[in-house]
Amino acid sequence: MSYISVGTEIPALELPPITRTTLALYAGASGDHNPVHIDSDVARQAGMPDVFAQGMLSMAYLGRVLTNWQPQAKLRKFSSRFAALTQLQDVITCSGTVVELVGKSDELLARCEVRAVKANGELTLIGEALVAI
């Protein structure tokens, strides 16, 4: 384990552009077949310009950032809130920072802020995780 302290940056993960294939594969894997994410006609009827990514897809990407950094078994808590829609062709980068070290139940935890950001700088998802270190 490398030394982890307040300010430690979690290595960023840049994803390829969101495509219809990405959305269809995620729908199949997650069971989220909401048609606004996979059917352009339904999305337009709902007032959107086209389909858009499932919010939980970005949360899955944030989870991947965390488990790329530390083993999944060390993850104690993970939550997020949605800030903006992820559209087709958006390039998302996920990253995080250790913001606090907390002693809890006989273990040391890193409280991390994690985020998903579009290439234009727009924040789409912000989250928090507690990771045992």
35: tokens are 């048609």
Residue 2 banded pLDDT, cuts 50, 70, 90: low
Give dist(CA 131, CA 33) in Å, integer: 31
Residue of 77, 39, 32 whose CA lies nearest to 58: 32
pLDDT of residue 109: 96
- What pLDDT, on a 0 to 100 scale, did the predictor assign at position 98? 98
- Report the share of the chain in percent with pLDDT over 90: 94
Domain-wise residue ranges, the chain: 9-18+53-132
Task: Write down the pLDDT at residue 59.
Answer: 95
pLDDT at 105: 80
Mean pLDDT (the chain) is: 95
| Rounded Cα–Cα distance for residues 24 and 73 (Å) | 29
Q: How many whole angstroms separate alpha carbon 41 and alpha carbon 51?
A: 9
CATH fourth-level superfamily of 9-18+53-132: Hotdog Thioesterase (3.10.129.10)
